[in-house]
Structure 1
Amino acid sequence: MNGVSWRLCKGKAYCFAVVVLVTISSFLYGHYRLSGLVGAGEKPRISALLRSDLKDRESEELSKSPWSQVNGERFSKEEKEDVLVEEDVLVDRVDLRMQEKERKCPSSLRRKIESHERLKALFSFEIPVLMWSGHLNDSEWQRLQHSPPPYGWQGLPYKVVSSTLLLLNDSTYGRLFPDKPESHCIRCAVIGNGGILNGSRQGRAIDDHDFVFRLNGAVTSGYEEDVGTKTSFYGFTTNTMKNSLIAYKQMGFRRVPQGKNVRYIFIPSEIRDYVMLYSAIQGIPVPFGQDNGDKPWFYFGFNRKPKKFRMLHPDFIHYIKERFLHSSLLKMEYKDLYMPSTGALLLLTALHTCDEVSAYGFITDNFRKFSDHYYDRVKRPLIFYANHDMQLESRFWKLLNSLGVMRLYQRP
């Protein structure tokens, strides 16, 4: 006690009580501070005292990664700090890793991948799946200028890319599941549009998953027993979405899935996707380009909150092409047209973010027995085009299914 406090004491008993109270209060306050201001039932946050140590370790980890190279050279110290963006992002990333460990999902596909030498070398869960404004800085802009969309930003105006990404101004936009689901394992179903689903009666099994991914001409009305009704994520390029609305209108695809819980995953295949995403969040007609005058709310509804939208990172698409789907078509005359299919991109997105993944409506060995789409009025053969290597993709799904990494729906 200081002198002032002591002079205020009027008796020994009173002073003794004051001393005890002050001592207890000091102890409780110190304990409160050291606990990181943790409330009952909450998980401890990483204190500010640990941030510098974490940043040092993250920098060391980054320097060892092949993704820290630009044109074959290592990042400079300044560039490394640029890539790290800010300490809060780092803390978010560490928090996510802690959450993943705490979930302890015994059937996690990551466990199976880690236990398989070939797959462990193939998969990299450190590569960003989604883009947000934290990925936009000078060094990243220069690096991604070396590849055209969807693998980079070559030929895209800086103003278009920056104005779009700045709307995704929080690290939560870099995560597919900002809120932890109630179940310990995140169970996802990715629904292709293959004819194998016609008459499958898999609707209930599909809807039983925590999250359901759909893509392009995702017709559900009239096919609920086969494909379910639940949609958590709808994935597309602006081109495939608009073409699907035209090509499959007579089959029942008259609008993109909409609803309170539906989120949209843009695949940045060209400038149209950046402009459409910008317009959708701003709630304005598309201001220029091929879709000039389009009203995004026709596609995505009137809820234009940024949290409804996500965009795949060009690095992730490049990684998928190089690691998993490096097709022989890349040696052909029309190699510049090639990219992984929308279904492949969505399925691999799920495989990098979910604990358990089931794929429905994808190509299987006996694809000739089924129509192109499950909603075809008459049977149509599946046609292979030069922009995708569907047979390579189907072989890869078969491999992952055989190794127990995912479940591929098949029929005799």
Structure 2
Amino acid sequence: MPPYGWKGLPQDVVRSTLALLNDSSSSRLFERRWPDQCVRCAVVGNGGILRGSKQGRAIDSHHFVFRKDGFTKVPRGQRVRYIFIPSNERDYVMMSAAIEGLNVTSGHDKGDWPSRYFGFKPPYKHFKMLHPDFITYVTQRFLKSPLLKYSQLYMPCTGALMLLTALHMCDQVSAYGFITKNFADFSDHYYDAVMLPLLFYANHDMQMESWLWEVLHARKVMSLYKRTKVK
């Protein structure tokens, strides 16, 4: 389903990139230390509700932390994994260059050095890519917005896909920095220097996503971080 999938993409680009993910570990986001381990995951969005929340220690107490692009410091290290959500050729080209330690040779990011974001030639096992069929599944099953009829326009927010990925992989999930009912009390992003209102774009359905997070929280499927505005 557009905008995901392989339709219209150069087969040689897709094939050469996926060939780099040639280990059995590429089929899993992470390994459990023991079969019956209860894996606790924190999923961190960029919402302004996090600014001044002092939730850093609570977030770090989880076994795994999912973060999206936009955070203030690029995390690196042996425990870090970079998850790509493939929506066009650009994602495959960037991942390939990052794994091989090269600069991007074509497309929108031509000349860019992935090492700025991922470090120099990190192990290929540190890179993961969501399968387009999985993205279609969670979109059709959980993010079934009326906007789906405009498939060339609508796409779920990156944070929504990240959170639903964690909900399918982890035993306990806590969501931080996601839209809540009182979103107007906070800035758009936690790193905003001044108060900026949350913007709603035509290609996302954040109101539907907000409703879904509230439902999953109420049913104790996950824990959604909430707080009132500090005066």
Asked if Structure 1 and Structure 2 have the same fold, meaning a TM-score greater than 0.5 normalized by the shorter chain, the answer is yes
The alignment status of 1:407 with 2:223, answered yes or no, reads: yes
Aligned length: 228
2:95 partner SS: helix
1:297 matched residue in structure 2: 115
2:206 matched residue in structure 1: 390
2:39 matched residue in structure 1: 186
Q: Distance between the aligned counterparts of 1:275 and 1:324, measured in 2?
A: 29
Counterparts of residues 165-184 of structure 1 (less than 5 Å): 165-180=18-33, 184=37
Q: Distance between the aligned counterparts of 1:337 and 1:282, measured in 2?
A: 33
Q: Distance between the aligned counterparts of 1:208 and 1:182, measured in 2?
A: 20
1:381 matched residue in structure 2: 197
The alignment status of 1:202 with 2:18, answered yes or no, reads: no
2:79 matched residue in structure 1: 261
* Larger radius of gyration between Structure 1 and Structure 2: 1
Q: State whether residues 148 and 155 of structure 1, in contact with CA within 8 Å, keep that contact through their aligned partners in structure 2.
A: no
Q: Distance between the aligned counterparts of 1:310 and 1:161, measured in 2?
A: 14
Which structure 1 segments of 5+ residues have no match?
1-146, 220-254
The offset of 1:295, in angstroms, is: 1.2
Q: Distance between the aligned counterparts of 1:182 and 1:157, measured in 2?
A: 40
Q: Distance between the aligned counterparts of 2:227 and 2:77, measured in 1?
A: 31
Which structure 2 segments of 5+ residues have no match?
none
Q: State whether residues 194 and 372 of structure 1, in contact with CA within 8 Å, keep that contact through their aligned partners in structure 2.
A: yes
The alignment status of 1:328 with 2:181, answered yes or no, reads: no
The alignment status of 1:366 with 2:219, answered yes or no, reads: no
The offset of 1:178, in angstroms, is: 2.7
1:277 matched residue in structure 2: 95
Counterparts of residues 6-405 of structure 1 (less than 5 Å): 147-150=1-4, 152-180=5-33, 184-219=37-72, 256-331=74-149, 335-405=151-221
The offset of 1:329, in angstroms, is: 2.0
Q: Distance between the aligned counterparts of 1:360 and 1:304, measured in 2?
A: 28
The residue type equivalent to 2:33 in the other structure is K
Structure with greater helix percent: 1
* Deviation readout 1:26-59 (Å, 9 max, x if unpaired): xxxxxxxxxxxxxxxxxxxxxxxxxxxxxxxxxx
1:199 partner SS: coil
The offset of 1:183, in angstroms, is: 8.4
The residue type equivalent to 1:208 in the other structure is S
* Deviation readout 1:233-261 (Å, 9 max, x if unpaired): xxxxxxxxxxxxxxxxxxxxxx6322332
* Deviation readout 1:344-374 (Å, 9 max, x if unpaired): 0110010000010000010011111111111
1:272 partner SS: helix
Q: Distance between the aligned counterparts of 2:135 and 2:35, measured in 1?
A: 30
The offset of 1:292, in angstroms, is: 1.3
| TM-score, L = length of structure 2 | 0.93
The residue type equivalent to 2:166 in the other structure is A
| TM-score, L = length of structure 1 | 0.53
Q: State whether residues 149 and 314 of structure 1, in contact with CA within 8 Å, keep that contact through their aligned partners in structure 2.
A: no
Q: State whether residues 3 and 152 of structure 2, in contact with CA within 8 Å, keep that contact through their aligned partners in structure 1.
A: no
Q: Distance between the aligned counterparts of 1:398 and 1:317, measured in 2?
A: 21
Q: Distance between the aligned counterparts of 2:139 and 2:100, measured in 1?
A: 32
Q: Distance between the aligned counterparts of 1:410 and 1:181, measured in 2?
A: 32
RMSD between aligned residues: 1.6
The residue type equivalent to 2:134 in the other structure is F
Q: Distance between the aligned counterparts of 1:311 and 1:330, measured in 2?
A: 23
Q: State whether residues 276 and 296 of structure 1, in contact with CA within 8 Å, keep that contact through their aligned partners in structure 2.
A: yes
Q: State whether residues 98 and 121 of structure 2, in contact with CA within 8 Å, keep that contact through their aligned partners in structure 1.
A: no
Q: Distance between the aligned counterparts of 2:34 and 2:95, measured in 1?
A: 27
